[in-house]
């Protein structure tokens, strides 16, 4: 074991340029999430740049480090798709042969009809939309009728929104379980998501009672392998939900990037060894899908400003990994995800600095590196552990 603890942070949707096959996705555009944000105004990212962010490729207004404190590169997505589940599964060593289904025109009548029959209620919506916008639009009607709001997004998701005073949270969860049981075979979406909200017309707000019902990942993925070895895994954010809690020793739910950063420091105090796997989701959910480039840029700067606090909490045996799962360029007309390369930054007191890790053919390379460090293997990926330690 080279590192007693690995802190792996996923900056959700922070892509760094279109992959060559982006045209294979009919709804895609040539995304460059970080690059386009950097081109709109100078970004203040001194700490990410010190690790080697601007050494991966040129970005407007960002200077490459003369002596990076970390090693750097970029990862392609080997699986077909550009969604949360695909990206995270691949990080854990699962490369998909076919993508999870998407529903740009809403779910077909046979799916919605059977869902309504099973839950004994009609539904509202059934379209791709922003979760915050659709509850403002359909929330009043929902409160009148008690009909849950069903919607999807650029992800392979079946989302169910309901007011907590109209359909209690436990009943919302039961409805989601019915949907999860229904959505199998050709309609096996990556996640069914409960999206409870409160408030009154014109001021509806989502609550922290979100709950994800994911597809069980195939056996042998990273968290299974680590559990078999007795390695503790701490989840911060939606990691535990994506993997159905498999192999997770402890979990910290989060409400925002700021909360996620605070919970990461709390996790470091709670878990002296093993893997701490973090997802900071605001980039995607709050800014990418809403085409809020300025909000996206501020979120990047907030994470950058937090990094010194994180570094101060790391020990000599720790390895820090920063990456992303896909793109969600807030500067394009589309609000969908983008098929993009993602950054790879790796830093630790015992790790080599300034190593160009190049273009990795799969996000699974990260998972294989973590696996090798703890003495196990995952089904896919080429470890770069030797490159950063020899």
The pLDDT of residue 266 is above 70:
yes
123 near 111, Cβ under 8 Å? no
Closest CA to 193 of 216, 205, 209: 209
Among 22-31, 192-201, 338-347, the least confident range: 22-31
66-120 pLDDT per residue, tens? 999 999 999 999 999 999 999 999 999 999 999 899 898 999 999 999 999 999 9
Report yes or no on 88 lying in a domain: yes
Q: Examine residue 233 and state whether it is found in any structural domain, yes or no.
A: yes
Alpha helices in 2-146 (DSSP H): 33-40, 46-51, 53-56, 84-91, 109-119, 131-145
Domain assignment present for 104: no
pLDDT at residue 26 is higher than 70: no
Q: What is the dihedral of CA 40, 42, 47, 48, to 10 degrees?
A: 30
139 and 90 in one domain? no
230 and 371 within one domain: yes
- What is the C-alpha separation between 149 and 159, in angstroms, rounded? 8
Of the candidates 214, 242, 260, which is a domain's last residue? 214
Same domain, 267 and 327: yes
For residue 264, being part of any structural domain is answered with: yes
Q: Quick check: is 32 in a domain?
A: yes
pTM: 0.90
CATH number, domain with residue 129: 3.30.70.1250
Report whether 67 contacts 55 (CB < 8 A). no
How many independent structural domains does the chain possess?
A: 2
Q: Within a 10 A sphere around the Cβ of 39, how many other Cβ atoms?
A: 15
Q: Is the same domain home to 139 and 268? A: no
| pLDDT greater than 80 at residue 154 | no
Confidence of residue 208 (pLDDT cuts 50, 70, 90): confident
Dig out the tokens for 390 from the structure. Answer: 């020899």
| Domain presence at residue 103 | no
CA distance 235 to 352: 26
Alpha-carbon distance of 27 to 331, in angstroms, equals 15
Residue 28 has pLDDT above 80, yes or no: no
Nearest to 73 by CA among 389, 339, 390, 387: 387
Residue-wise pLDDT tens digits, 168-183: 999 999 999 999 999 9
What are the DSSP calls for 213-248, one per residue? Answer: EEPPPPTTSHHHHHHHHT--EEEESTHHHHTTTTT-
- Same domain, residue pair 239 and 343: yes
Entry field: residues in the chain = 390
Angstrom distance (rounded) from CA 62 to CA 301? 12
Residue range of the domain that includes 54: 5-98+216-389
Average of pLDDT values for 11-29? 90
């Amino acid at each position: 074991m080279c590192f007693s603890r690995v802190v792996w942070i996923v900056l959700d949707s922070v892509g760094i340029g279109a992959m060559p096959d982006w045209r294979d996705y009919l709804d895609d555009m040539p995304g460059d999430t970080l690059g386009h944000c950097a081109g709109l105004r100078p970004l203040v990212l001194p700490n990410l740049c010190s690790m080697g962010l601007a050494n991966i490729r040129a970005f407007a207004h960002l200077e490459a480090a003369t002596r990076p404190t970390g090693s750097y590169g970029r990862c392609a997505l080997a699986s077909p798709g550009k969604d949360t589940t695909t990206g995270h599964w691949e990080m854990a060593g699962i490369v998909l042969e076919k993508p999870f289904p998407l529903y740009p025109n809403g779910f077909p009548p046979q799916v919605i009809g059977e869902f309504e029959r099973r839950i004994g209620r009609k539904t509202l919506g059934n379209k791709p939309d922003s979760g915050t916008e659709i509850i403002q639009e359909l929330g009043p009607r929902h409160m009148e009728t008690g009909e849950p709001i069903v919607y999807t997004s650029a992800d392979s998701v079946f989302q169910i929104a309901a007011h907590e005073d109209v359909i209690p949270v436990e009943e919302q969860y039961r409805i989601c379980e019915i949907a999860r049981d229904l959505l199998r075979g050709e309609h096996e979406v990556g996640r069914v998501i409960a999206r409870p909200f409160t408030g009154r017309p014109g001021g509806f707000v989502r609550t922290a009672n979100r709950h994800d019902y994911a597809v069980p990942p195939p056996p042998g993925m990273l968290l299974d392998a680590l559990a078999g070895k007795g390695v503790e895994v701490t989840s911060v954010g939606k990691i535990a939900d994506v993997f159905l809690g498999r192999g997770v020793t402890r979990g910290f739910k989060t409400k925002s990037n700021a909360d996620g950063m605070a919970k990461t420091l709390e996790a470091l105090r709670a878990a002296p060894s093993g893997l701490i796997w973090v997802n900071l989701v605001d980039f995607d959910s709050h800014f990418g899908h809403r085409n809020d480039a300025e909000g996206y840029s501020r979120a990047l700067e907030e994470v950058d400003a937090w990094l010194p606090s994180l570094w101060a909490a790391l020990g000599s045996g720790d390895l820090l990994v920063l990456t992303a799962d896909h793109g969600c360029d807030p500067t394009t007309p589309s609000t969908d995800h983008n098929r993009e390369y993602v950054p790879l930054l790796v830093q630790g007191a015992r790790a080599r600095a300034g190593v160009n890790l190049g273009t990795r053919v799969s996000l699974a390379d990260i998972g294989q590196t973590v696996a090798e460090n703890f003495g196990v293997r995952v089904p896919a990926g080429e470890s770069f552990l030797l490159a950063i330690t020899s």
